[in-house]
Amino acid sequence: MIIMKHMKKPEKRSIGSINSIVWIVLALLVIFGGYKFFYPNHVTNTESVADKQSSSKITKTEGSSSESKKASTSEKSTNKNKIWTNKQDSELATAISSWEQTMGQSYQGTNKSKSVSFGGVNFPSFISEGPIYVNQQEVSMKWTTSKKDDSDYKVVAAYAGSMYLYLFTFHNNAPEVLVTSQSASDGMNFKVTENAQLVSSFEKIAAENSNI
């Protein structure tokens, strides 16, 4: 029998080498499984938070827009029955300031809820005390910005100088400027002013309001 002395025996893997491979495989499985578990949840949670923040912003924006619309609607409703507004009152004061320089005169007005004195009486309080005349005819007159008032003359402003007193009124729903130079002894008599510049300024400002 011939014996092969030089034949190599098959190599045997050591237990330590096998264990190392097993641990590497397990580690890869853990890493891969953890990635699949964590990443989708992370993306979903991030998207969820972003969606909530976006929804919150939209809700706040819609809320602010709604509040603005309510405020605007409320303001329009309040001004709906007014023939004269604070804005117009300020514009008239500016117009008078320019006009009095042209005339070389000085006037005090009732803008910003002030009162003025002329001929020994105060305005606007005298309007409710009367009597008031226009072209020698007694009329009903009231200090008001309400469209619904049925007085002959609705007065919205008064400007007093050393010689003249002007009342800015609405008569038959049309702007009209009255003037007097008389003191109040037994009532006060007015007439329509002939000052074209003053009339034009008042009519222009009054036309801004569509309620008249």
**Cα–Cα dist 192/161, whole Å:** 17
pLDDT tens-digit map of 20-50: 676 776 667 656 665 455 445 544 555 455 5
Question: Global pTM?
Answer: 0.65
State yes or no: pLDDT of 3 exceeds 70: no
pLDDT at position 108 is 96
Domain residue limits, the chain: 18-79, 86-206
Q: DSSP state, 112? A: G
Burial 83-121 (b: 16+ CB within 10 A, else e): bbbeebbebbbebbeebbeeeeeebebbbeeeebebeee
pLDDT at position 164 is 97
pLDDT tens-digit map of 89-137: 999 999 999 999 999 999 999 988 899 999 889 999 999 988 999 999 9
